[in-house]
Amino acid sequence: MVARSLVQRTTRGVVGVSTLLSRGLGARPPVNDRGVELDPQCHGLLALEGFVSKPLDAYGAERGREEMRRKTWIADVPFEVLHRVEDRSIDGPRGPIPIRIYTPRPARGSEPAIVFFHGGGFVVGDLESHDRICRHFARAVDATVIAVDYRLAPEHPLPEGVEDCAAAFRWVYANAPDLGIDAARVAVAGDSAGGNLAAVTCQLMRDEGHPLPCFQLLIYPGTDLTRSARSHETFARGFFLERSTIDWFVAQYVTDPADELDPRGSPLRAESFEGLPRAHVAVAGFDPLRDEGEAYAAKLQAASVPTTVRCYGSLVHGFFNMGGICTAARFAVADLAEVTRNALHDVVGS
């Protein structure tokens, strides 16, 4: 913990110096297509990132997974000690699925829960990369968080990760009494690829007639593997998530380009959006995935699904794991926790 804190303080200091140098050289933060200026700390971080690191696709899958863990270790919110954190394994359609259950405090009855799917382009990310944010969210939302270590591409392409996530939600719902969870207050959530998987899980539960999550929190979700939204071109380079990296992720995840249209990979391509759980969709103003996230929210709204959407206009993709070094990201995480807490604690008795 001491080593991480020292590295994080050093990184914040370097980001601050980078920001000041950029300003001193007349390099003001860029302004996006909506007239919003990039957060100065994000600007400094991106300058530093370009100097010391490479896009994840340059590492390959195994090294990329190590790099993802390293970046979140440095940038994420502080480690929090909870009442209980338990690693378990549940049965999945293709073998055991590791999960991690975060319990923020002693139970006072049946508690709300969030089944959480981590981001990482379906290729990187795991229980460790998102451990701190899951701990933080469990406490901030006052809910049990069940993080799912679904199978990753390229070893396990579409739809294997989808099947794991759907199986995990079914398991949590079926075992809610034993877990001290209120089955009527089980939400799904995820960031980036995890937001995709949360949206797809809701669609699958609806289509098979299974009880639905009470709420879906989609944090800068990828909703269309065709990458045809304008924001993919607007923010193709220089804003943390590069177009080349997205292309590489998709190439690992789908074995046939035709699969990019499969709603299990592109939930925006579903035939119907009716009857899905109420949703909150969060996007970032400098993110290649911004427009497709907003398009998904619009589809839900058009289908009369209660849906709110919020654009954190000055931030970049990945801000959910940047709360330790970026003040605006920390405020965004707090905002998302408040929205989720209100959603879960408003459905008591439903």
Report if residue 316 sits inside a domain.
yes
Q: What is the pLDDT of residue 1?
A: 53
Strand order in the sheet with 144-148: 84-92, 95-103, 144-148, 111-117, 181-191, 216-219, 279-286, 307-316
Looking at residue 147, what is its pLDDT? 99
Q: What is the pLDDT of residue 287?
A: 98
Neighbours of 81 (CB within 10 A): 7
Asked if residue 185 lies in contact with residue 348, where contact means CB atoms within 8 angstroms, the answer is yes
Q: Give me the pLDDT at residue 253, please.
A: 98
pLDDT of 51? 61
Residue 350 in domain: no
Residue span of the structural domain in which 229 resides? 2-345
Task: Specify if 190 maps to a domain.
Answer: yes
Q: List, in sequence order, the alpha helices (H) in 25-97.
A: 40-52, 61-75
Q: Give residue-wise pLDDT tens across range 239-268.
A: 999 999 999 999 999 999 999 999 999 999
Give a yes or no: residue 17 inside a domain.
yes
* 81 in any annotated domain: yes
Residue 294 inside a domain? The answer is yes
Residue 281 lies in a domain: yes
Which of these, 235, 238, 215, 217, lies nearest to 227 by C-alpha position? 235
Active site residues: 192, 287, 317
pLDDT beneath 70: ranges in the chain: 1-26, 51-52, 347-350
pLDDT at 18: 46
Q: What pLDDT score was predicted for residue 134?
A: 98
Residue 275 in domain: yes
Q: What is the pLDDT of residues 26-41, one digit of tens each?
A: 578 999 999 999 999 9
Look up the CATH number of the domain holding residue 324.
3.40.50.1820
Domain count, the chain: 1
Q: What are phi and psi of 84, to 5 degrees?
A: -155, 140
Token reading at 91: 């049965």
Q: Which two tokens stand for residue 294?
A: 């907003």
Residue 201: what are its φ and ψ, rounded to 5°?
Answer: -60, -40
